[in-house]
Amino acid sequence: MRRRRGSWRRKSEGSGSVNLISMMDILTVLLLFLLKSYVAGGEVMVPPAGIELPSSNADAPPQSSLVVAIDGDEILIGSERVATLAEALGEPGLEIAPLTAHLQAVQQQQNEIAKLRGAEPAQHLIATIQGDRNIEFRILQKVMYTLGQNGYENISLAVLQKS
Amino acid sequence: MRERRKRRRHRDQVAGEIELMPMLNVFISIIPLLLLSAAFVPVTVIKTTLPSDSAAAVEPQKTPLDLAIHIHPRAYQLEVSGSIVANIVRDPKGGEAATQTSHDQLLEALQGVAAAHSDEREVRIVSESRTRYEEIVEVMDVARTAGLPEASLAEGLEGS
């Protein structure tokens, strides 16, 4: 009898019963909070690294759309590099040819997806521009013009919300 | 008999402990993932529309006010129907950075115009080619606060 009790005690020490319940409580609350912030946020837009968005008191929520990012030296669609700023500024006129080519490719892809789904291709296309706060107006103007020429008439400018 | 019952209770307690380690492992991997991708500073958008060809074909019902804010390196100019009505120096000390005072003055001037034309919602923001994006967004903010939420962007001539 004494022997058996001794062996049980040794087993319970071996399994290392640290009290984890309190830690689990914290983690559960944290997890719920994070999940809630996801659900309540709707479309969550995370600015890409290296782009410092300007801050503004605008409060319109972002929509899911094509994202064109302009950082210190490049123009990106999604995460794909399209043109450098020097190339874009070097083009005569307002249109940026490599951006047009990319936009048309994207549009063709979307039209094919729409056709496969049996839906009408979208008429009013939406684009969001994530521009660094230090870019110059001339590059913004060129990007907006090119988007407009390719059917993206509704353009949103992404900004950080001022608290 | 009592001895045996005691022993059974002991055994029940051991079996009653929940295995928390798998759950803990899941939590420990999920929480850093969520924390990394959570956006703590919310990103919002300013909506602008480009004038499309179809919209340009429609004749406006009334004569437009043609309200414009010019952003010059040293001053803001407020233009109504082609004439400059206000000229606001951005930094009295001669620098190029806009001060809060100049924003307040611009806001006051815009509110004056907006109060006189209560149905006006549009404003044109005329920038120079080297105007920084941040400054344009600041002016858009001022215009929105003054009750002119529909801002469109335009380019002005250098040095005008």
A77-103 per-position pLDDT tens digit: 877 888 888 888 888 888 888 888 888
Q: How confident is the model at residue B22 (pLDDT cuts 50, 70, 90)?
A: confident
Do the chains contact at B49 and A136, CB–CB below 8 Å?
A: no
Of A46, A61, A137, the CB nearest to B44: A61
pLDDT tens for each residue of B62-117: 556 678 888 888 888 888 877 777 788 877 776 666 778 888 888 888 888 888 87
Residues 6 or more apart whose CB falls under 8 angstroms from that of B101 comprise: B92
Whether ipTM > 0.85 holds is no
pLDDT tens for each residue of B38-77: 766 777 888 876 654 444 444 445 556 678 888 888 888 8
B48 in reach of chain A (CB within 8 A): yes
Do the chains contact at B47 and A54, CB–CB below 8 Å?
A: no
Helix or strand holding residue B8 (H, E): helix B2-16
Which one-letter amino acid corresponds to residue B95?
A: G
pLDDT at A29: 92
Strands B75-80 and B67-71: antiparallel
Q: Which of A129, A75, A99 is nearest to B137 (CA)?
A: A129
The CA-based dihedral angle spanning residues B10, B11, B15, B21, taken in that order and rounded to the nearest 10 degrees? 70
For residue B3, the chain A residue with the least C-alpha distance is A1
Q: Three-state secondary structure along chain A?
A: CHHHHHHHHHHHHHCCCCCCHHHHHHHHHHHHHHHHHHHHHCCCCCCCCCCCCCEECCCECCCCCEEEEECCCEEEECCEEEEEHHHHHHCCCCCCHHHHHHHHHHHHHHHHHHHHHCCCCCCCCEEEEEECCCCEHHHHHHHHHHHHHCCCCEEEEEEEECC
Residues 6 or more apart whose CB falls under 8 angstroms from that of A7 comprise: none
Do the chains contact at A136 and B132, CB–CB below 8 Å?
A: yes
Of A23, A38, A134, the CB nearest to B134: A134
Residue at token pair 């600015």 = A47
